[in-house]
Amino acid sequence: MGRTTAAPLDNTLIEDGAVTHVGINQIGRYPVHMHHLMGPVNEANNGYQFILVGNSVENGAKWGIAVHNSHFGLVDGNVVYDVEGAGIITEEGNERENVFSNNFVVKIGTIIASIYEPTYGGVAGAGRVFRILCQPANCLTRFAC
């Protein structure tokens, strides 16, 4: 796991139940990939639908932590070091009500142009909460709520 690189994707292909091509750069295989985690219905609207706390990622080939179409989560106290691309990314841009707090992201590489890029992946817009998010090389990028 964690082997998707910033190079163009090369997915394994299966046709009529048979493998016709074994890919070497499969989509969506990042060191940490919060994939479609919406959790159970939480009528009281308290707590989180997923929690990712106190993890470390080192030497990732594309993104360190990817939050993909996952909502109402807590990403806190994680360390991402020496990855190509983004340290922590929201992949689709539709991710709502997640809290990203007290994470440390450093030594992030420049991503190579790829045929697969996130639809948006930005941080602007309602429903995104960032606390104490600072990359030492770019400490002008801080979000606080």
* The pLDDT value given to residue 42: 66
Residue 94 near residue 118 (C-beta atoms within 8 A): no
Radius of gyration of the chain from its Cα atoms, rounded to whole angstroms: 16
Using a 10 angstrom Cβ sphere, with 0-12 exposed, 13-18 middle and 19 or more buried, the burial of residue 19 is exposed
**Cα dihedral value 101, 105, 110, 113, nearest 10:** -40
* The pLDDT value given to residue 85: 79
Kindly write down the DSSP assignment for every residue of 87-133, as one continuous string: SEEESSS---SEEEES-EEEEE-PPPP-S---S-----STTEEEES-
Please give the Cα distance from 45 to 101 (Å, whole number): 19
Residues of the chain with pLDDT under 70: 1-3, 39-45, 110-145
Question: Could you give the angle at the alpha carbon of 82 between the alpha carbons of 144 and 127, nearest 5°?
Answer: 25
Predicted structure pTM score: 0.67
Please give the Cα distance from 48 to 71 (Å, whole number): 9
* The pLDDT value given to residue 141: 37
* The pLDDT value given to residue 119: 41
* The pLDDT value given to residue 130: 53
**Amino acid (one-letter) located at 60:** G
* The pLDDT value given to residue 100: 92
